[in-house]
Amino acid sequence: MADREVTLSIFRFDPEKDKEGRFVDYKVPTVEGGMVVLDAVRYVQEKIDTTLAIRWNCKAARCGSCSAEINNRPALMCKTRIDTLGDRITVAPMRAFPVIRDLVTDVDENYRIMSKIPKFTVRKELMNPEAEGKKHQDVWRIQQINVERAKEFKKCIECFLCQDVCHVVREHKSGYFGPPRHIVKAASLDMHPLDIVNRAKFLNEEGGLGYCNITKCCQEVCPEHIHITDNAIIPEKERAVDLQYDPLMHAIKRRLMKKRGETVA
């Protein structure tokens, strides 16, 4: 890739001074191959306008701080190469969240919602396995398939891009929890072999799981390639069906859950 110049159109907004945000154009010269959008934005911050506010940390798609909307598509700034984009690049903050300043958004709400999800509740027997006549190391052993299933969700870096792209959250303000650390988190707890709480009914009634209409945008933007819809939302929906819409499965499930000592949150 030969050196070239790109124009970055960056969203600037300072709530103390401005009433409304605006896009300001900056020219970034000598773009090298392999350069990512974050490099260009940092160039602007260092050489052109030091007051530009961005949040970034690792530049390796691990910390999930530099989420933004690049050419209106939610993406990590550090994972979007400039040579995949045109000569004019718009960089905006995630507009599903309140803007603190420029490209920095306030994602606190997500953590508040997360604290509503029923906590990890360990099986009682596991705390004192000797009383059940089992060895401690046997009881705490987890099968590989369970590890695989939960590991996918643990890859989440909390960049909240899926939350930003979710049209229910973005356009309709319906009280839907949204996919990222909420349904994925709940699913990872639900599928944990040592946990005894079933969160599907809670998600369906309070989390607004029904608002999701499986349009899979969250899965498309996920920088960690978690199959959010296929492996978290649909199984949770199916669990909710088990408990609320399917009398046959409900009967079977109730017996199974009683046997395993599980509870519904």
Partner 1 sequence: MGLFRLTCYAYRKDYHRHIFSHPMACRADVRHENTKRKYNGGETRFFRVENVHRYFMYASWPIIPFFFYDVYVSITYKGFAELSLGSIILLINAIFVTLYTFSCHSLRHVTAGGGAECFGCVFNQSQPRSSARWGGFFRFQSALNRHHEALAWTSLSLLIFVDLYIRALGVHMFPNIILIH
Partner 2 sequence: MPGLFAAGEVACGLHGGANRLGGNSLADILVFGKRSGEAAAKYASDKKIAEIEDSEVQEEINRVLSYLKPGGVNPYLLVDELTETMSNKVGIVRNGPDLESALQKILELKEEYKKVSVPGGRKYNHGLFTALELGNMLIAAEAIVRSAIMRTESRGAHTRKDYPKKDRNWLKNIILWKEGDTMKMDTVPVPEMPEELKKLVKPEVYQ
199 contact choice in partner 1, partner 2, none (CB below 5 to 8 Å, kind-dependent): none
Q: State the Cα angle at 116 between 111 and 118, rounded to 5°.
A: 125
Considering only 38, 82, 103, 168, the residue that binds partner 1 (CB under 8 A) is 168
Phi, psi of 263 (to 5 degrees): -125, 160
185 contact choice in partner 2, partner 1, none (CB below 5 to 8 Å, kind-dependent): none
Footprint of partner 1 on residues 52-91 (CB under 8 A)? 69, 72-74
Q: CA-to-CA distance for 93 and 69, rounded, in angstroms?
A: 6
| Region from 43-51, 151-159, 181-189, 256-264 binding partner 2, contact rule CB under 8 A | 43-51
Considering only 10, 203, 217, 222, the residue that binds partner 1 (CB under 8 A) is 217
50 contact choice in partner 2, partner 1, none (CB below 5 to 8 Å, kind-dependent): partner 2
At residue 17, the 3 state secondary structure works out as coil
Q: CA-to-CA distance for 98 and 95, rounded, in angstroms?
A: 7
What amino acid is encoded at 72 in this protein? N
Widest CA span of the chain, in angstroms?
A: 71
Position 14 contacts partner 2 (CB under 8 A): yes
Nearest to 264 by CA among 244, 234, 245: 244
At residue 94, the 3 state secondary structure works out as coil
Residues that bind partner 1 (CB under 8 A): 69, 72-74, 92, 95, 125-126, 134, 138-146, 164-165, 167-168, 170-172, 174, 176, 190-196, 198, 208, 210-217, 220-221, 227, 229-231, 234-235, 237-242, 244-246, 249, 253, 260, 262
